[in-house]
Amino acid sequence: RRPRRHAGRRATVEGEMVPQAWTIRRLPLAEAEDRVAEMGGVYQRAFGYDRSRRHHFEQRLLMNLPRYRDVVVLAAEGPSGELLGFLYGYDLERGHWWPEQIAPALERAGLGDWLDDAFELAELEVDPPAQRQGIGSRLLRTLEGLTAHRHTLLSTTADPADRAKVLYRRHGFVDLLPGFRYGGVGDPAVIMGRRRA
């Protein structure tokens, strides 16, 4: 079903109630593909990456969007439609790179059932100037209303200063594989999951 476009919550500014300056919208696949460069810009600024990392992200996104089932792309947009943040993911399908990376470790840990009926939350990013406005929380709540999967899985950094983990834990995600290491990558990651009640 199509989500309703909402006007957003209201906030108090100098005692007066004013509309929130952003909305969340699910993007049709064709529009998401057209806006990959915008998403790449938010991704680059959120992490402080160079142009080569941004280019790699954009190419991976363009490749993945048409390849997966149950694709969800959510955009947080400002008053003029500018992209302030985004989320995307899809049905977790064995045989693709990420599930094959994490599946053996989850199964060894006795957590293999998390792979059943799962949604792969591939990316959630908010442009630094738009952070701390509740955009990440609203993206996660909107996603939960759009998907019927029993589980949602994601990967984030193991950096203790990473604020993303605080956001995810606030929305019911738990650490499944702390200190997980991908093949050929030195920095550890944390695999997190949320089970639908």
The residues assigned a catalytic role are 168
| 85 phi/psi in degrees, rounded to 5 | -175, 165
Residue carrying structure tokens 């200063």: 161
Quickly count helices (H) and strands (E) in the chain. Answer: 6, 9
Q: Residue 50: what residue type?
A: D
Report the alpha-carbon distance of residue 18 to residue 11 in Å, rounded.
6
Q: State which H helix or E strand residue 59 sits in.
A: helix 51-64
To which residue do tokens 């007066």 refer?
16
